[in-house]
């Protein structure tokens, strides 16, 4: 890990992030680690996440007021849908983003290094619940 000691706790955290299959926050990582019998503190989880982010192993996503999520860094750009009801994060890709970036770079002679887009709303389950409660 780039000159950093690979401790058992760091390996567990990285494995848990990989196994999450998407976005996970620090408290959920802590819950998963302790439920597996790991002796780890929430502070250790946060320190590990900061290190992983600095090393380029994970991306940190601040998705509105719903919190800060972590995911394994991937070479493919993607955007996020965030449910305001349950907090679920759904990834999606759109060719419109590539066209928008190309247009902005061309129009403003600007080199885009990173993009982040998230849309907030309600997932299918929460949408049905809000519609049912409105009747």
Q: Do 29 and 49 fall into the same domain? A: yes
Q: Do 15 and 62 fall into the same domain? A: yes
pLDDT, residue 91, reads 83
Q: Do 19 and 48 fall into the same domain? A: yes
Domain that holds residue 114: 76-135
Number of structural domains (the chain) is 2
7 has pLDDT over 70: yes
Report the share of the chain in percent with pLDDT over 70.
Answer: 88
Q: Do 81 and 125 fall into the same domain? A: yes
Give the pair of three-digit tokens for residue 30: 């802590």
pLDDT confidence tier of residue 135, bands split at 50, 70 and 90: very low
Q: Do 51 and 81 fall into the same domain? A: no
b/e code 11-33 from CB counts within 10 Å (16+ = b): ebbbebbeebeebbbbebbbebb
What CATH number should be reported for the domain holding residue 80?
A: 3.30.1490.190
């Amino acid at each position: 890990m780039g000159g950093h000691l690979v401790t058992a706790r760091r390996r567990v955290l990285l494995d848990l992030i990989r196994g999450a299959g998407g976005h996970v926050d620090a408290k959920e990582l802590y819950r998963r680690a302790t439920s597996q019998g790991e002796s780890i503190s929430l502070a250790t989880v946060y320190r590990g996440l900061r290190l992983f982010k600095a090393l380029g192993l994970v991306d940190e996503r601040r998705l509105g007021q719903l919190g800060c999520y972590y995911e394994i860094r991937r070479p493919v750009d993607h955007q996020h849908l965030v449910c305001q009801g349950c907090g679920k994060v759904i990834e999606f890709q759109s060719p419109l983003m590539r066209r928008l970036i190309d247009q902005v770079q061309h129009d403003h002679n600007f080199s885009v290094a990173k993009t982040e887009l998230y849309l907030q709303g309600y997932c299918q389950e929460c949408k049905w619940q809000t519609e049912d409660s409105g009747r």
